[in-house]
C-alpha cells in the first residue's frame, strides 16, 4: 500500500478520511458477518473440506483465532436477531459487546439490551450482563414458586398418601411397592416363596443328626 498520498493530506482531510474509512470498515464487517451466518446455516464449510466454521475462518479466510470466534458468535446472534448487524454497522456496539450479550438476547429483550450496551466499555457491559443474569434468576425462581403454588392449589393435583406422609408406598400385600423405571407405575412384588423355604428348613431339621 502506497502511503505517500496519506502523508500529503491536510489534518482536516486526514481526520475526515479516517472517519469515513472506519465507517466503511464497520459496514464491511457487518456484511461479512451476515455472509458467515448464511455459510454456517448451509454448512458450506464442509463442502470446502473444513471440519468447522472456526477452521474455515482461520484457514480459508486467514482470520486470527480471536477474530474468527468473535465473528462466528456475532453471525449466529445476527441470524436470530438481525438488529445486531445494524448496531455493528453504525458503531453503537462492538464485536466484544455482541459476544458478551449473545447468550442473553431474546426476542423480548434484544433491542433493550443492545440499547443499554450502546457505546459502553467491556467492563460496563459485563456489569450489565451480571445484573441481567441476577434479574433472570430471580424471575425464574419466582416463576418456579408460583408454579408450585398453582399445582398445590389445583384440585386436580394428584395426592399420594405415601409421599405426603414420608413413607414408602405399599403394595396389596403390605410390602414396599416396586416402581417401573420406564413407566413410573408401581407393581406388586412377587410373593416370597415362604412355603418352599419352610419346607426346606423342615426337611433339613428332620434329617439332621440332632433331630434323630
Classified as helix, coil or strand, 187 is strand
Indicate if the pLDDT at residue 165 is higher than 50: no
The pLDDT of 97-121, averaged and rounded, is 95
Distance CA 154, CA 33 (A): 50
- pLDDT value for 162: 47
The whole-model pTM stands at 0.63
Classified as helix, coil or strand, 126 is helix
Indicate if the pLDDT at residue 99 is higher than 90: yes
Distance CA 33, CA 69 (A): 11
Q: Within a 13 Å sphere around the CA of 107, how many CA atoms are in the beta-carbon half?
A: 0
pLDDT tens-digit map of 80-90: 999 999 999 99
Distance CA 92, CA 67 (A): 19
Distance CA 138, CA 132 (A): 10
Q: What percent of the chain has pLDDT over 90?
A: 60
pLDDT tens-digit map of 9-57: 999 999 999 999 999 999 999 999 999 999 999 999 999 999 999 999 9
Tell me what the pLDDT averaged over the chain comes to.
78
Distance CA 58, CA 187 (A): 59
Distance CA 170, CA 177 (A): 5
Provide Rg for the chain, Cα atoms: 34
The pLDDT of 171-190, averaged and rounded, is 50
Distance CA 175, CA 177 (A): 6
- pLDDT value for 1: 83
Amino acid at each position: 500500500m502506497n502511503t505517500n498520498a496519506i502523508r500529503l493530506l491536510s489534518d482536516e482531510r486526514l481526520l475526515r478520511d479516517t472517519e469515513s474509512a472506519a465507517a466503511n470498515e464497520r459496514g464491511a464487517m457487518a456484511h461479512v458477518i451476515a455472509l458467515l451466518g448464511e455459510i454456517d446455516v448451509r454448512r458450506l464449510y464442509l463442502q470446502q473440506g473444513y471440519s468447522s466454521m472456526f477452521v474455515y475462518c482461520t484457514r480459508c479466510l486467514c482470520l486470527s483465532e480471536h477474530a474468527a470466534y468473535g465473528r462466528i458468535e456475532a453471525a449466529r446472534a445476527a441470524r436470530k436477531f438481525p438488529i445486531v448487524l445494524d448496531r455493528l454497522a453504525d458503531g453503537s456496539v462492538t464485536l466484544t459487546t455482541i459476544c458478551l450479550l449473545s447468550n442473553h438476547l431474546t426476542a423480548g429483550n434484544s433491542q433493550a439490551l443492545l440499547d443499554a450496551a450502546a457505546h459502553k466499555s467491556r467492563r460496563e457491559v459485563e456489569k450489565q450482563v451480571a445484573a441481567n443474569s441476577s434479574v433472570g434468576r430471580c424471575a425464574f425462581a419466582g416463576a418456579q414458586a408460583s408454579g408450585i403454588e398453582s399445582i398445590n392449589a389445583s384440585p386436580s393435583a394428584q395426592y399420594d398418601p405415601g409421599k405426603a406422609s414420608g413413607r414408602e408406598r405399599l403394595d396389596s400385600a403390605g410390602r414396599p411397592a416396586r416402581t417401573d423405571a420406564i413407566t413410573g407405575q408401581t407393581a406388586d412384588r412377587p410373593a416370597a416363596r415362604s412355603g418352599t423355604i419352610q419346607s426346606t428348613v423342615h426337611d433339613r431339621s428332620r434329617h439332621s443328626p440332632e433331630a434323630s
